[in-house]
Amino acid sequence: MNRLEAGGYNGRVKKGALLFSLCVAALSAAAAERAHPFLLINAQEIAAAKQKAARQPWARRALENLLAAANAALKQPATVPDKVGQWAHWYSCPKHGVRLRTVSPTQHRCPVDGEVFTGDPYDAVVIGQQHQRMANATRDLGLAYQFTGEGRYARQAAAILLDYAGKYATYPRHTTTGKDAVGGGKVLAQTLDESVWLIPLAWGYDLVWDALAPEERSRIETGVLLPAAAVIREHKMGVHNIQCWKNSAVGLVGLATGKEELAREAIEDPERGFRRQIREGVTDDGLWYEGSMGYHQYTLNALWPLAEAARHAGLDLYSERYRSALLAPLALALPDGDPPGFNDSGGSNVTATTRLYELGYARWKTPEFGALLAGGERTFLESLLWGAEELPRARAVIPEQSVLFRDAGFALLRARHPERPEGPQRVDAVAVRFGRHGGGHGHPDKLGIVLFGAGQLLALDPGSIAYGVPLHREWYRTTVAHNTVVVDRESQANVDGVLEKWEVLEPSGAALTAAADRAYPGVRMRRSLTLTPKGAESVVTDRFELSSEKEHVYDWVLHVRGEAASSLKFEAVSPAGAANGYQHIGQWERAASDAAWELSWTDAGARLVLKMTGAPGTEVYRGVAPGRNPAERVPLVLVRRRAASTVFDAQIIAGPQRE
């Protein structure tokens, strides 16, 4: 029984009704006394931010950056595009999968071979970028008006808002494929992007509200804010990162226009409101259920606009479960701060997400959040608006201990090496993905691993690229693109796996056993991993067991950056597969060995050694395939056996390159 089922339908209804009543009371009680601005920041907080900028050099630079952006917006025409935008995922070379470079609004160049693309959807993507810049400009102009009191900023923001008010009705609703259907936007091609665009537009309106005439407010509200919210509301989703953006957009419009029922819906709707997103979308470990650190970070960016606006309106949404979602990226980070990269949108280094932690530390005062801020450059808008002037003393932000996320189905096995005279303690890590599939953004990679050693990523997960190009589907969403086992050259089914064993070792290291018996019909899959430090190296003992009543082709795969060397004799051969990702592997080489063998890679001062126990009929293939950048070619090894049952017994050793 899941959490949603646990309380029973009647219990959920009663609890939902009580929360809705409390929300109504909180919002209604504050509404009569509410003064603009209050969505992004209020007058008292603006005064405090000004004082902070006068005292702190970093806050002063953040204010200077804001004013520079607003001044740049003043120099641009306040006329918004007459045409609509398209899906950003179309803006990649369909052949190479790399993002295009904009030569002009009508010319878009592939950086690999220089081919220039023209027309839609490429032109429309650039128009969509212009729409987003216009919305962001209203926010920057509105903030500049509040910080300086200069009417020129408010007038420019008002001109943009009024132009949208006059044009929004003329924009056709359209999806990413150009159809007029629910789920499409008007300014942009889906309700997700319409929401991302609408949020800063609502902030801008709130920030210049007192500089607008009543008739102008009415035109903006009825011409663009409320109609855009209606387009977004028509598309109903359940628990999903997209719905989080939609909730914030609709909720902000409701609060800004005095339509409190829209804000209550965004927060309390039992199927899709903010509270349900936190309750059901955030796992018990704190990780967003889609299992992608990129979408986890994306969701965090979607949640806070509504949470902060609700706080100003008298409703506190900053729960402990919400806080756990900010802790999760730190707990699951590799030693250099990068995410493991599993599933779609692999995510960003934790040091690149400090904007989120400025607000997080302001609301929760969690020491790890403050320590992350203390080590970074605090010149962002978020630093100015919410940044604390005093932070805790520096401490380890990323744990050095092994971590299990049982509910989400992730583990970080970490090995600490004794402190060395020449530098600080080194941590190596193996990330394992064994549990939840991750919904629409999950990849078929159960029991897959990522290995970090000697200060760098060695065995990698490719993550994902733009969804609009064939390579995303043909490579990044295949099992052979990941560090796991492929059966019969087919990708795994989209299923969950299970944890069977977890043990933290002393003084350092961890052991894990997990299974994925539903990934392939009739095949039992079990992987046991142990990570321990040994001198300057980390040793991974890897036992991958496969068993079935029928004979299968089992391919054990590992993708490793670096220059490869082996005692095996390899010869060039034709591809060992023609579909399900195999068609994107090049430079195939093959060797055969019934006995034990080893293969090593060296890269930028790091060394990885793979030792595998022999078995009759073993074929060892090498090749290269797309990496996290589709233009990059990363070496791989594929170990093939034909049997009903087999065990891949391997030892993976990572450490500094030997002299």
Domains and CATH numbers, the chain: 1-33+236-335 (1.50.10.100), 349-398 (no CATH), 403-656 (2.70.98.70)
Average pLDDT of the chain to the nearest whole number: 93
For residue 66, pLDDT over 70 is answered with: yes
Per-residue HEC secondary structure of 90-127 comes to: HCECCCCCCECEEEECCEEECCCCCCEECCCCHHHHHH
**Percent of the chain topping pLDDT 90:** 91
Task: State the average pLDDT over residues 540-549.
Answer: 98
pLDDT in tens, 569-593: 999 999 999 999 999 999 999 999 9
Q: Under 8 Å CB-to-CB from 200, ≥6 apart: which residues?
A: 135, 136, 138, 139
Query: pLDDT tier at 62 (50, 70, 90 boundaries)?
Result: very high
Task: State the average pLDDT over residues 174-181.
Answer: 97
pLDDT of residue 1: 29
pLDDT of residue 22: 54
For residue 21, pLDDT over 90 is answered with: no
Alpha carbon 557 to its chain centroid, in Å, reads: 25
Q: What pTM was estimated for this model as a whole?
A: 0.93
CA nearest neighbour of 452 among 655, 657, 659, 658? 655
pLDDT in tens, 32-43: 457 999 999 999
The pair of three-digit structure tokens given for residue 381, joined into one six-digit string: 């808008």
Q: How far apart are CA 601 and CA 458, in angstroms?
A: 9
Number of C-beta neighbours around residue 439 at 10 A: 18
Amino acid present at 255: L
Q: How far apart are CA 513 and CA 458, in angstroms?
A: 22
CB 364 within 8 A of CB 388: no
pLDDT in tens, 110-136: 999 999 999 999 999 999 999 999 999
The pair of three-digit structure tokens given for residue 309, joined into one six-digit string: 């606006």
pLDDT in tens, 369-391: 999 999 888 999 999 999 999 99
Task: State the average pLDDT over residues 392-421.
Answer: 88
Number of C-beta neighbours around residue 46 at 10 A: 18
For residue 15, pLDDT over 80 is answered with: no
Per-residue HEC secondary structure of 373-387 comes to: HHCCCCCCHHHHHHC
Query: pLDDT tier at 396 (50, 70, 90 boundaries)?
Result: confident
Number of C-beta neighbours around residue 77 at 10 A: 10
pLDDT in tens, 307-351: 999 999 999 999 999 999 999 999 999 999 999 999 999 899 999
For residue 521, pLDDT over 70 is answered with: yes
pLDDT in tens, 87-112: 999 999 999 999 999 999 999 999 99
For residue 10, pLDDT over 90 is answered with: no
> What are 641's strand-pairing partners?
554
Q: How far apart are CA 441 and CA 439, in angstroms?
A: 5
Number of C-beta neighbours around residue 275 at 10 A: 20
pLDDT of residue 32: 47
At 42 the three-state DSSP class reads: coil
For residue 165, pLDDT over 60 is answered with: yes
Exposure string over 9-26, b if 16+ CB within 10 A, otherwise e: eeeeeeebeebbeebeeb
DSSP 8-class letter at 560: B
Task: State the average pLDDT over residues 343-360.
Answer: 94
DSSP 8-class letter at 222: I
For residue 659, pLDDT over 90 is answered with: no
pLDDT of residue 4: 28
Query: pLDDT tier at 423 (50, 70, 90 boundaries)?
Result: low
Residue 440, CB-side half-sphere exposure with 13 Å CA sphere: 7
Task: State the average pLDDT over residues 488-501.
Answer: 98
Number of C-beta neighbours around residue 312 at 10 A: 18
The pair of three-digit structure tokens given for residue 307, joined into one six-digit string: 């949470």
CB 45 within 8 A of CB 126: no
pLDDT of residue 74: 98
For residue 61, pLDDT over 50 is answered with: yes
Q: How far apart are CA 549 and CA 308, in angstroms?
A: 57
Q: How far apart are CA 329 and CA 226, in angstroms?
A: 35
pLDDT in tens, 607-618: 999 999 999 999
pLDDT of residue 418: 74
Query: pLDDT tier at 6 (50, 70, 90 boundaries)?
Result: very low
pLDDT in tens, 197-235: 999 999 999 999 999 999 999 999 999 999 999 999 999
Q: How far apart are CA 465 and CA 628, in angstroms?
A: 8
